[in-house]
Chain A
């Protein structure tokens, strides 16, 4: 039976998804029913080209890569301590990539022509073409990997009644006895594709001659920040699930959280160095004027609040302190709190990277940056985030998420 808290969660998230969908829909087409919207639908033409939804897309694909990396550490690379959280990691990786691809699919202005990028009109010289190809490959590998990983438990779940049993029976239709255990091979292919796809996304930004983006380190930086958000999201997903199941986190599960704490802390330390040196090199007097101006936007310009408060303080310093101190780091609640801070920081880091990188871009007649965020975009973003949470909930309900003994 559904508990009261689940009913509240489902209804709130469905309402937010609906509002977000209406907002995103009205960005493309006139609404079929005559509703008087309190705000004018957002007009993207006279503004910077890539905005909040692109940042959200990058956030989602960063997360999926990171989740895949963290889950693969336990599943493929033999980090035994991480095995108890592999299932959560894989499920969230699937959810985030699906919502991420939806985000970018609805962000492009000619939604109905999106398939051109897959067949027919393709340009292999474009980074975006490879991004699309690699992410599709990644989704295929991820689905196979998840199926292989879950199938043992799915067979047990066949016996159950209701929708869970039906779901398990549908997924286990293929004859199982003859299939070799290829989980590790497919898992390796998945994480390999994820890293290629994600660093390619970094290159998509890096090839542009915008001073804040340009350079060969952006792809590496993307992989690094993927590990940060992957570890943090795994902690959040696993903690919330256990919290609502009223299970105390202890034993192997606790050990997995401690392992994630180390991974997250280490990745944050490296990110701090990456950020610091990136900014120092860009403001150093020997770099070009444009490069210096591109960083001023963050140091005391339009994005200063985002950068100093969200990205540096909430995203890096507070979580690192919480994780490093033994008084807080040994408690699961504080690891969860640190991960929440990190994820908020990473989300604003994406906004800064996408929108702040374009802040210098002088396109004729372009208005920048007021308003920075249009209400429609904000509601669309909240809708997509609720959709991710909702899909995670549904997946958790349907799949055999119990930890293997």
Chain B
């Protein structure tokens, strides 16, 4: 190999990696998606507990793959006076059953927002991972390769939704996988299965599927649309005070 060939090879490598990456994201179709109806969620926390047991996340740890945010909104006379109280349910202990919360929400607008990894089509965590431990499956689920993750926690800082965390026992990053081991066998994720009010709906985005119809017929929102992450978790009846 002479010098010219060597330089050509080096010059060719960079576009080659880019092409490989584009190809891997081109074959995405019939993605899985979740539609969360905020008006149906009662904040019971069954999904959180079920998820933790199914996916071996310590149940006492505040870290969780899915969690519920409870909002109690007090609208004053001026728009600047909106007072929001926010509690997070991420363990088996339910803060929404406590006396202070029940006393506090009387006469106020109260709602519960389940949150989880958004499985972004343009996922910041995949871009920033130095060792390619995160990837899209062909059906659009973002997964973590736990044998590769080096625990640098760059993805935690990059995720705009705070959905990624460091697993307290395994010392690698962890997040919602849409229960990939279940959905590949035709089952639904446990949080969807155990939701008593059908607030969570899950399925493929294909003609005639339930989630497709829900997205078509209702006004849906995604979290932080300004980030351009194109989440695959859609929300119905989301309130304006909900952050993240």
Contact = CB atoms under 8 A, between A and B. Distances in A.
A365 B157 contact: no
B154 A128 contact: yes
B153 A50 contact: yes
B64 A364 contact: yes
Interface in B136-150: 148-150
11 contacts: A45-B63, A45-B165, A108-B151, A108-B152, A117-B131, A123-B132, A126-B129, A128-B130, A207-B128, A364-B163, A365-B91
A209 B160 contact: yes
Contacts of A210: 157
Given A44-B166, A116-B150, A364 B130 contact: no
Given A123-B130, A364-B67, A46 B244 contact: no
A117 B154 CA distance: 13
Contacts of B201: none
B123 to A, nearest CB: 11
B137 to A, nearest CB: 17
A363 B115 CA distance: 11
A114 B21 CA distance: 23
A11 interface: no
B157 A108 contact: no
A403 to B, nearest CB: 41
What DSSP secondary structure best describes chain A's contact surface?
A: loop
A46 B129 CA distance: 21
Interface residues of A, number: 37
Interface string A120-157: 01111111110010000000000000000000000000
A45 B26 CA distance: 35
Listed from nearest, the 5 A-B pairs whose CB atoms lie closest are: A109-B151, A365-B62, A128-B130, A49-B153, A363-B162
B129 A365 contact: no
A4 interface: no
A128 B128 contact: yes
Interface of B: 14, 17, 21, 61-64, 67, 88, 90-91, 115, 124, 127-133, 148-154, 156-158, 160, 162-168, 171-172, 227, 243-244
A364 B162 contact: yes
A37 interface: no
A362 to B, nearest CB: 5
A120 to B, nearest CB: 8
A113 interface: yes
Contacts of B14: 124
Contacts of A124: 14, 17
Contacts of A45: 61, 63, 165-168
A52 interface: no
A358 B158 CA distance: 10
A49 B153 CA distance: 6
B162 A366 contact: yes
Contacts, number: 119
A50 B151 CA distance: 11
Nearest to A125: B127
Contacts of B88: 364-365
Residue among A121, A132, A361, A367 having the largest count of chain B Cβ atoms under 10 Å: A121
Contact of B156 (A107, A209, A363): A363
B132 A50 contact: no
B149 A110 contact: yes
A208 interface: yes
B130 A365 contact: no
A49 B157 contact: yes
Nearest to B152: A108
Contacts of A132: 130
A367 B14 CA distance: 41
A109 B132 contact: no
A117 B163 CA distance: 24
Contact of B148 (A44, A46, A121, A209): A121
Contacts of B167: 45
Contact of A122 (B61, B67, B130, B156): B130
A132 B63 CA distance: 30
A116 B153 contact: no
A36 to B, nearest CB: 22
B63 A364 contact: yes
Nearest to B132: A123
Residue among A46, A113, A123, A208 having the largest count of chain B Cβ atoms under 10 Å: A123
A217 B157 CA distance: 19
A43 interface: yes
Contacts of A114: 150
Nearest to B164: A363
Given A45-B168, A128-B154, A207-B158, 9 more contacts: A43-B168, A49-B157, A110-B151, A121-B133, A128-B128, A207-B128, A209-B227, A365-B63, A365-B90
A114 B150 CA distance: 6
A126 B128 contact: yes
Contacts of A358: 157
Contacts of A207: 128, 158
